Amino acid sequence: MGKFPNRTVFLLTLVLGFTLNVSTHAQAPGSNSAQAVSLNNRGLQLFKQGKVDEAIEQYRQALVLRPDFAEALSNLGLALDAKGNDAEALADLDKALTLKPKDATTESNRGLALYHEGKYAESIAAYQLAISFHANFPQAYNGMGAALAAAGKTDEAIAAYRAALKLQPRYVDAMNNLASALDTEKKYDEAIQIYQQAMKIEPQANDIRMNFATALQGAGRTDEAIAEYHEIVAARPNHAHAFFQLGHLLYTQGKLQEAIAALEKSLALQPDQAETAFNLARAYQDAGNLSAAVETYQKGLAIKPDDPHGLYNLGNTYLTLKEPAKAAPLFRKALELQPDFTIALLGLGIAQMQAGDLAAAEMSFVKLKEAQPDNADARFNLGNLYFNKGQYGPAADNYREAIRLNSSLAHAHYNLGMALLRLNDQKAADKEFQEAKRMDPALTPPK
């Protein structure tokens, strides 16, 4: 059986600080400059309220009145970056720096725009410049930490976040990011402690609570993580990712119906999430609701048709339904997409054997055995194949090899006993039947 897909890493929310550039120069009332300052300040207020498009319009009006207004250019660049217009944002931030060189706020916001473009080395350099212009700048240290983390320099990122917190001890964004970095390094206890401190400052910060739950999960404190996810979805019933995480953890605890309910809610909230569909389908599969599993795997594959794991798991469901003609093409496609996905080769061999094509099945199992000499499943299924062909000696040899590779295979002991019976070795067969029954009481010897 395929494993519960766990390729969706439980993402940690990273918070990058931005800094608005406020003009502090006195202007003559009624002048163009005074009007430009008023428009810039109005833009600042709108931006803080999340009205980014309206803020952009105010900044642009300010620049019509005063084209050399560096602060308005800087703020416009920040607003454009918030809209995802990174190239235009950088152009305006560069203009602002030309007009007002060594401005720490503008350089910091330039670092943010570069970060969003994925230019992490340049982003780090921009933040370093901002800090050189203004040493006591916690937002720049926080932003630099994010760029360092994205560049894979986690230790340096942690140092940057700590520097931000030294300057501003109650800086919640930096606390969140530091804890996230520590979580990445599997330093769960310290991460959990910092998240708890941050939540005392901002109790309603659900993104931090999500990260806190993830850290609890990483630390193996599953029940506490589940409790956190329950509280998050109670507060935010449309939080699809929290329902997904909750469903995953409940699944790992074997609470299939509760897991299904959480994953169904997550998929209803975000129907375009293939991973959620795949995970829900696997929960249906394990709960024995195979028709729902098939339908939901198909939904996931409609979103992500080239997912080898989704193809494999749907094929595996068809095997359970004894529909090898539907299973085999799915295994073949999975192997085309990922040739080293050997579990799909095993599935293909089983589908071929179910369909009665023993020659093709033998080729698949032998190929798997050659690719993975220590694969007990390949040996076990080869044993089954040879048994079905009436070749009891090769069947017994493969069952023995499967047991050598994996001594916990109760069915291999049982099937070896059946092969030995056909070989007229009653004493050896009885020994295998006894071992099989010891391992699995449901496997009673034949009469």
SS3 per-residue string spanning the chain: CCCCCCCCCCCCCCCCCCCCCCCCCCCCCCCHHHHHHHHHHHHHHHHHCCCHHHHHHHHHHHHHHCCCCHHHHHHHHHHHHHCCCHHHHHHHHHHHHHHCCCCHHHHHHHHHHHHHCCCHHHHHHHHHHHHHHCCCCHHHHHHHHHHHHHCCCHHHHHHHHHHHHHHCCCCHHHHHHHHHHHHHCCCHHHHHHHHHHHHHHCCCCHHHHHHHHHHHHHCCCHHHHHHHHHHHHHHCCCCHHHHHHHHHHHHHCCCHHHHHHHHHHHHHHCCCCHHHHHHHHHHHHHCCCHHHHHHHHHHHHHHCCCCHHHHHHHHHHHHHCCCHHHHHHHHHHHHHHCCCCHHHHHHHHHHHHHCCCHHHHHHHHHHHHHHCCCCHHHHHHHHHHHHHCCCHHHHHHHHHHHHHHCCCCHHHHHHHHHHHHHCCCHHHHHHHHHHHHHHCCCCCCCC
Q: What pLDDT does 11 receive?
A: 28
Question: 8 pLDDT exceeds 60?
Answer: no
Question: 21 pLDDT exceeds 60?
Answer: no
**Of 7-21, 29-43, 347-361, which range is least confident?**
7-21
Q: What pLDDT does 400 receive?
A: 97
Burial (CB < 10 A; 0-12, 13-18, 19+), residue 244, is buried
Q: What pLDDT does 204 receive?
A: 82
Question: 1 pLDDT exceeds 50?
Answer: no
Question: 31 pLDDT exceeds 70?
Answer: no
Mean pLDDT of 435-447: 92
Question: 10 pLDDT exceeds 80?
Answer: no
Q: Which band of pLDDT confidence, cut at 50, 70 and 90, is reported for residue 357?
A: very high
Q: Give the torsion sign (CA, 365, 371, 373, 374).
A: negative
Q: What pLDDT does 191 receive?
A: 97
Question: 75-105: per-residue pLDDT in tens?
Answer: 999 999 999 998 999 999 999 999 999 999 9
Q: Which band of pLDDT confidence, cut at 50, 70 and 90, is reported for residue 17?
A: very low
Mean pLDDT of 214-233: 95
Question: 14 pLDDT exceeds 90?
Answer: no
Question: 25 pLDDT exceeds 60?
Answer: no
Tell me the pLDDT of the chain averaged across its residues.
91
d(CA 13, CA 179): 10
Q: What pLDDT does 205 receive?
A: 83
Q: What pLDDT does 20 receive?
A: 53
Question: 251-293: per-residue pLDDT in tens?
Answer: 999 999 999 999 999 999 999 999 999 999 999 999 999 999 9
Q: What pLDDT does 430 receive?
A: 95
Q: What pLDDT does 19 receive?
A: 55
d(CA 434, CA 432): 5
Domains and CATH numbers, the chain: 306-370 (1.25.40.10), 373-447 (1.25.40.10)
Question: 363-384: per-residue pLDDT in tens?
Answer: 999 999 999 999 999 999 999 9
Look at the pTM and tell me if it is higher than 0.75.
yes
Q: What pLDDT does 22 receive?
A: 52
d(CA 17, CA 142): 7
Q: What pLDDT does 274 receive?
A: 97
Question: 282-328: per-residue pLDDT in tens?
Answer: 999 999 999 999 999 999 999 999 999 999 999 999 999 999 999 99
d(CA 348, CA 256): 28
Question: 143-172: per-residue pLDDT in tens?
Answer: 999 999 999 999 999 999 999 999 999 999
